[in-house]
Amino acid sequence: MFPYPSGTLHLGHLRVYTISDVLARFKRMNGYDVIHPIGWDAFGLPAENAALERGVHPEKWTLQNIEAMKKQIEVMGGRWDWDREFRTCDPEFYKQTQRIFLMLHKAGLAYQAESLVNYDPVDKTVLANEQVDANGCSWRSGAQVQKVMLRQWFLKIKDFQVPLLEDLVELEKDGRWPERVLAMQKNWLGRSYGTKLRFDIKGAGSSIQYDPVDVFTTRADTIFGVQYIALALNHPIVQALSTENEALSDFITSAKDLPADSKAGFLLPNVTAVNPINNVLRRPGNEVPIFVAPYVLGDYGSGAVMGVPGHDARDHAFWRANVAGKPIEQVVVPDQGTKAPLLIAGTPEDSPSLERGFVSDHIPLFGGLKSDKAVGELVKHLQRAGKVAEETVNWRLRDWLISRQRYWGTPIPIIHCHSCGPVPVPDSDLPVKLPDLPDEYFKGKTGNPLAEDPEWKKTKCPECGSPAERETDTMDTFMDSSWYFFRYLDPNSSDMIVRPGIANKGMPVDLYIGGVEHAILHLLYSRFISKFLASTEVWPEGHLCKGEPFHRLITQGMVHGKTYCDPHNGRFLRPEEVDLTNPSAPVIKATGETPKVSYEKMSKSKYNGVDPGVTIARYGADATRAHMLFQAPVSDVLEWDESKITGVVRWLSRVIRLSSSLSSSLTPMSASFTPPPDIDISTLELLKHLHEHGVLEPSKDLISSLHPDEQVLWIKIHEIIASVTTSYSETYSLNTIISDLMTMTNLIWDTERSSPAAFHLKYLATSHLLRMLAPIAPAVAEEGWEILQRHLPTSHSLSSSKTPSVFDAGFPRADRDIASLLRPRITCVFQVDSKIKFRTDIEQPESTIPATRTDLLASKILPEILATESGKEWLAPEKGKVWRA
Ligand code: ANZ
Ligand code: ZN
């Protein structure tokens, strides 16, 4: 996921781009043609706000930030395809975003509609929900945000809801996407199977005919327990009544700002709702009161709820808050053939029963039916009685509101004409560029500069030529990021967003890495736009995996910072207030006390932020990368504690010393060299040969000439190669790679160089180590690699005079047979009641997979013992012998 150029690179960025760089380098070393691009999500509010505060053009601010962050990204040792770089605020890029908008428009998927939006009266703009705080105030101006009806642009994402939901199954396969993200997407799409039921409305003592009210319910089996109907604030009946009922219109005004879990209610006077089933069954009490309640969402279902306080928690709370004393009926019971109790306020039993079960025995006709069955029967009965009742599907997903009354975004390429209506800007006139405004223009400005720029607005209708006005809204920045990954494949294409052949070849993105905060919106919008693009004539070559853009997704965890606070009052302490001379025993300077230490989300107010640039300057990029990966699995929260980095620094320098010591044993070497006493010429020949062929594997002869201890070392090395390879390519368990490589370093280091063959092994093992280290610590590995080969004689060295890069050497391959080839035998002793019965030799079981002793015994050792002669004699079941592992 590309960065937002907010100013400086933070540890969260460093983490995600390290993971990405490591995996890209690994794939390249394995011969893949890797596209590892980076660009800038450059439109958006922070830039515009900086402009308003400082009187600097948002573009200037953005470009400065990009320059600064680019330097920081380069310092971290990443290898990026800078030739594919772009920024979304570049007219060449947003021309394509405008094209996508027009394609959507042409397909009937972009439309304008009145909608209730968050409006900031001070800044005079619409805000996204995320920009309104818990108290309903604007995050920027602090003003109380108003809900107003405004005409806005929407994209019909709902037209794609079924594939958006159903294709998640693809992404579930072998853990391609994290379960958590899949669950969040499912929930956001919110497909809900239920029933639509129609309630007639009676105006008591009046002849007014009210339209009936439809409700959506997932629990139609509870219809016998309906005690009221609740309507949303914007329900048509409520809207109509509010014009003549002042108390109601006051209630609506005050209730608009109440939270969704509010229990407020307004009882509509003189009207009741008729429960359709009670009517069919001729049960008494078939008219229920009608409330207006803010807990009913205006844009879900039909904006009306059948209130069942006996079986729904919200309805129960609402009833108790609004209706004094009345008992609550229950109509569904857990066990067939029982009768549900009444709930009396104030008693301990007064809580709703939420589970499905059986209709209570006291209900005529339906008593004893299982919940699901009851729903089917109910619908049949109601339909037969001529009532409206049907099973329906409801979705939580709403169409995507993309218009913003802001300057710093992609202008919506539409022209409004008095006679032709909204007309698309012709392709030849794209991009519709933002007006070029001076820095001072922005200072302290409120509202939308586009709407206030008469020159920019004024244009001609492309259809009839009469004077017309440009659309002054710009697009939500999520629109830019919903398709940018296509652009990396073809960053310079001007006549189309990307050439289809190239897109088909490159898509889908094999591995997408980013924060879990994008689990819903960004990933859903990207899936939507990809599906849309896959569904149109832009891609004559057909489908792109049904348009699923991201084959595999890794969501990296957050980075938390070490936070010190006063143990008495919890006040966060500034760095200068804490004495960290001994990092493991911090002291509050003023009092000499020990501060409370915790890890929290980094923020200015907690003084726990860390500048990755400082860490890199102090310890180097490689150590910073390795430390970051080593401290936590990629998806977990990372508690950043710089003091532990010293272990990693020591390890990396040990890798270099290991390379040097091995390399110097090869000196002096020249055309006329004499081999050192412990190295024979054939070893060198072999090395040269192996280097040339990039194999670097010792021959079977060499291995068999080894001392058994050295053979074990070689097996372990191969086990580590296998484990590291799996971690890089399958489990993305980058932290265990580092612990594996640390183990490997120590193994090589601790092996006595007892023979030329052992030296050879150490040399080769180190070359494996460096190649496996390269994706994580590229500079150290490259340095080690150069040192390792520095003293190979020219005649024995590789053909080119230049030392090749470790990245050209390929990734070591685990020889999965080597272990079994060389696996030592172990002696098993079998004893009963401390008396030795027999001994037998078996092959030592593999130990790559951590297993408990009993597991190993049951799965590997016993079968082998059973196959031996003594095993058969002593343990065969037919001999009736009893034994336990
Ligand atoms: C009666 C009932 C009885 C309900 C019961 C639930 C339990 P999901 O699963 O999210 O689709 N509902 C319907 N429209 C609503 C709206 N506009 N605002 C708030 N709530 C609404 O939820 C469906 C349930 O949410 C519906 O089923 C309805 O309450 C409520 F024992 O109807 B139920
Ligand atoms: Zn016109």
Q: What is the DSSP code string of 95-143?
A: HHHHHHHHHHHHTT-EEEEEEEEEEETTTTEEE-GGGB-TTSBBTTT-P
pTM here?
0.83
Instruction: Tell me how far apart the alpha carbons of residues 564 and 598 are, in angstroms, rounded to a whole number.
Output: 7
Using the CB atoms, write b or e for 583-603: b if 16+ within 10 Å: eeebebeeeeeebbeebeebe
Compute the mean pLDDT over every residue in the chain, rounded to the nearest whole number.
Answer: 86
* Residues in the chain, overall count: 885
Q: Is 328 in the pocket of ligand 1 (CB under 6 A)?
A: no
From ligand 2's centre to the CA of 454, what distance in Å? Answer: 19
Task: Check residue 138 and give its pLDDT.
Answer: 82
Q: Is 561 in the pocket of ligand 1 (CB under 6 A)?
A: no
Q: Which residues are CB-neighbours of 599 under 8 A, at least 6 positions away?
A: 560, 561, 562, 563, 637, 639, 640
Task: Check residue 821 and give its pLDDT.
Answer: 56
Nearest to 224 by CA among 363, 328, 320: 363
- Collapse the DSSP code of 853 into the 3-class scheme (helix H, G, I; strand E, B; otherwise coil) and give the result: helix
Task: Check residue 716 and give its pLDDT.
Answer: 87
DSSP element (H, E) containing 480: helix 477-481
At which residue do the structure tokens 């807990």 appear?
Answer: 295
Q: Is 226 in the pocket of ligand 1 (CB under 6 A)?
A: no
Please give the radius of gyration of the chain, using alpha carbons only, rounded to the nearest integer: 36
Instruction: Tell me how far apart the alpha carbons of residues 858 and 794 are, in angstroms, rounded to a whole number.
Output: 55
What phi and psi, each to the nearest 5 degrees, are found at residue 750? -85, -10
Residue 568, number of CB atoms within 10 A of its CB? 9
From ligand 1's centre to the CA of 837, what distance in Å? Answer: 71
Which ligand is nearest the CA of 352, by number?
A: 1
Take atom 32 of ligand 1 and give the residue whose Cα is closest.
217
Pocket test for ligand 1, best of 116, 224, 291, 300 (most atoms within 8 A of CB): 300
From ligand 1's centre to the CA of 527, what distance in Å? Answer: 28
Cis, peptide link before residue 508, omega less than 30° from 0: yes
Q: Is 352 in the pocket of ligand 1 (CB under 6 A)?
A: no
Take atom 5 of ligand 1 and give the residue whose Cα is closest.
312
Q: Ligand 1, closest atom to CA 295?
A: 19
At which residue do the structure tokens 């499912």 appear?
Answer: 186
Take atom 28 of ligand 1 and give the residue whose Cα is closest.
217
Q: Is 219 in the pocket of ligand 1 (CB under 6 A)?
A: yes
* 512 touches 72 (CB < 8 A): no
Q: Is 648 in the pocket of ligand 1 (CB under 6 A)?
A: no
Task: Check residue 703 and give its pLDDT.
Answer: 64
Q: Is 308 in the pocket of ligand 1 (CB under 6 A)?
A: yes
* 476 touches 409 (CB < 8 A): yes
Which ligand is nearest the CA of 304, by number?
A: 1
Task: Check residue 763 and give its pLDDT.
Answer: 84
Identify residues whose C-beta is under 5 A from ligand 2, the ion: 417, 419-420, 461, 463-464
> Under the phi-then-psi rule, with left for phi > 0, alpha for psi from -120 to 50, and beta for the rest, what region is 136?
left
Task: Enumerate domains of the chain plus CATH numbers.
Answer: 11-108+402-434+447-555 (3.40.50.620), 192-394 (3.90.740.10), 558-609 (no CATH), 642-819 (1.10.730.10), 824-879 (no CATH)
From ligand 1's centre to the CA of 232, what distance in Å? Answer: 13
Which ligand is nearest the CA of 295, by number?
A: 1
From ligand 2's centre to the CA of 462, what distance in Å? Answer: 7
Side chain identity at residue 593, one-letter code? E
Take atom 22 of ligand 1 and give the residue whose Cα is closest.
218
Q: What is the ipTM of this complex?
A: 0.95
Q: Is 651 in the pocket of ligand 1 (CB under 6 A)?
A: no
**H helix runs in 276-410, sequence order:** 276-281, 313-322, 371-384
* 224 touches 295 (CB < 8 A): no
Which ligand is nearest the CA of 224, by number?
A: 1
Q: Distances in Å between the alpha carbon of 548 and those of 62, 169, 257, 535, 544?
A: 31, 11, 39, 12, 7
The tokens for 515 are 């924060």
Dihedral sign for Cα atoms in the order 411, 412, 414, 417:
negative
Q: Is 706 in the pocket of ligand 1 (CB under 6 A)?
A: no
Q: Which residues are CB-neighbours of 71 under 8 A, at least 6 positions away?
A: none
Nearest to 819 by CA among 686, 687, 749, 722: 722
Task: Check residue 714 and give its pLDDT.
Answer: 80
Take atom 7 of ligand 1 and give the residue whose Cα is closest.
312
Cis, peptide link before residue 163, omega less than 30° from 0: no
At which residue do the structure tokens 């080769």 appear?
Answer: 764
Nearest to 266 by CA among 243, 286, 247, 240: 247
Take atom 8 of ligand 1 and give the residue whose Cα is closest.
192
Q: Ligand 1, closest atom to CA 394?
A: 11
* β-pairing verdict for 287-292 and 213-217: unpaired
Take atom 2 of ligand 1 and give the residue whose Cα is closest.
219
User: Tens digit of pLDDT for each residue in 767-790?
Assistant: 899 999 999 999 999 999 988 877
Q: Is 216 in the pocket of ligand 1 (CB under 6 A)?
A: yes
From ligand 1's centre to the CA of 226, what distance in Å? Answer: 12
Q: Ligand 1, closest atom to CA 332?
A: 31
Helices and strands, number each (H, E), in the chain = 31, 30
Side chain identity at residue 516, one-letter code? V
Which ligand is nearest the CA of 460, by number?
A: 2
* 263 touches 321 (CB < 8 A): yes
Instruction: Tell me how far apart the alpha carbons of residues 290 and 488 are, in angstroms, rounded to a whole number.
Output: 56
From ligand 2's centre to the CA of 461, what distance in Å? Answer: 5
Instruction: Tell me how far apart the alpha carbons of residues 806 and 292 are, in angstroms, rounded to a whole number.
Output: 71
Q: Is 306 in the pocket of ligand 1 (CB under 6 A)?
A: yes
Q: Can you list the pairs that 711-714 forms with residues at least 24 positions away whose Cβ atoms lie under 8 Å?
A: 711/822, 711/824, 712/822, 712/824, 713/747, 713/748, 713/751, 713/761, 713/765, 714/761, 714/765, 714/818, 714/822
Give the residues of the chain that fall short of pLDDT 70. Answer: 128-130, 204-208, 279, 282-285, 536-546, 666-706, 753-757, 791-803, 816-825, 845-856, 858, 876-885
Side chain identity at residue 60, one-letter code? K
Q: Distances in Å between the alpha carbon of 433 and those of 98, 410, 479?
A: 10, 8, 17
Take atom 14 of ligand 1 and give the residue whose Cα is closest.
301
Q: Ligand 1, closest atom to CA 192?
A: 11
* 560 touches 641 (CB < 8 A): no
Q: Is 312 in the pocket of ligand 1 (CB under 6 A)?
A: yes
Take atom 27 of ligand 1 and give the residue whose Cα is closest.
217
Q: Which residues are CB-neighbours of 415 under 8 A, at least 6 positions away?
A: 422, 423, 424, 425, 459, 461, 462, 468, 469, 470, 471
Side chain identity at residue 146, one-letter code? Q
Q: Is 217 in the pocket of ligand 1 (CB under 6 A)?
A: yes
Q: Ligand 1, closest atom to CA 218?
A: 27
